[in-house]
Amino acid sequence: MQIIRRVSALRTAVAALKTGDKSIALVPTMGALHAGHLALVAAGKDRADHVVASIFVNPKQFGPNEDLDRYPRRETEDVAALEAAGCAIAWLPDATEMYPPCFVTSIGVGGATTILEGAARPGHFDGVATVVAKLFNQVRPDIALFGEKDYQQLAVVRRMAADLNFGIDIVGVPTVRDPDGLALSSRNVYLSAEQRRQALALPQALHDAAAALRRGASARTALAAASNAIVEGGFDSVDYVALHDAETLAPLETLSTPARLLAAARIGGTRLIDNLAVLPD
């Protein structure tokens, strides 16, 4: 596996990989890799000849008082994991390489960026869209893979890729969970043992809400019960629990189309997100 830190070297290396009409899959990450990230690499290997994985903690998607400074960074372990997973290139730019002096461009995606995570974290998706667009232009992949745990991010990237004619197949990979149901997240390392146990209230509340919706409960009733259950389970606060159309992310009042239950809640100093697919009977 090649470890590359400069765009010029990346372009040369990717061109060599494409020799003979070979295909490239991109797996963008912020490091602190876990089995969920490696599932993206495995899915990329199934769909393309070579996988390029990026590790870049993107400052533009962190707001004031968020966890940019303490976000886990463990490059040595991450690089070893990518190599073991069969990546061809680990793309490891620093902030200056990604955003050179005098960099002033930002990409904004309308619609779904103003709700849920967009409302809770203003400017977050501008930072996501900008860095992902740069990664697409740097690597020029045939496909790019994103985890469904960040479902709204996946929807935003799909919209941007379509609107800007990137010609890249955007693939969503199902959320990987621990055996007890907690979605894998790089931020799980922040949790104490007790908080880790309490965090199970989040996926459980979503499962219970999905069951209630399938029984005919209104979204208002099911979501209110889920929010209460999350707090009663040990979370300090709930940013949102919401039901949205799985494709458009339009809010739903009843389970009338394939949908997504999405939630964000805070426990101690950690903010966790999760989501669950819900299909009408």
Catalytic member of 37, 50, 124, 244? 37
Query: Any idea which residue has 């393309």 for tokens?
Result: 48
3-class DSSP state of 243 = strand
Mark whether 244 is an active-site residue.
Answer: no
Burial of 178 per CB tally in 10 Å (0-12, 13-18, 19+)? middle
Query: Which amino acid makes up residue 4?
Result: I
Q: How far apart are CA 185 and CA 203, in angstroms?
A: 13
Tokens of 97: 């390489």
Q: How far apart are CA 266 and CA 235, in angstroms?
A: 6
Nearest CA-CA partner of 124 in 77, 58, 177, 222: 58
Tokens of 198: 């309490």
Residues annotated as catalytic are 37
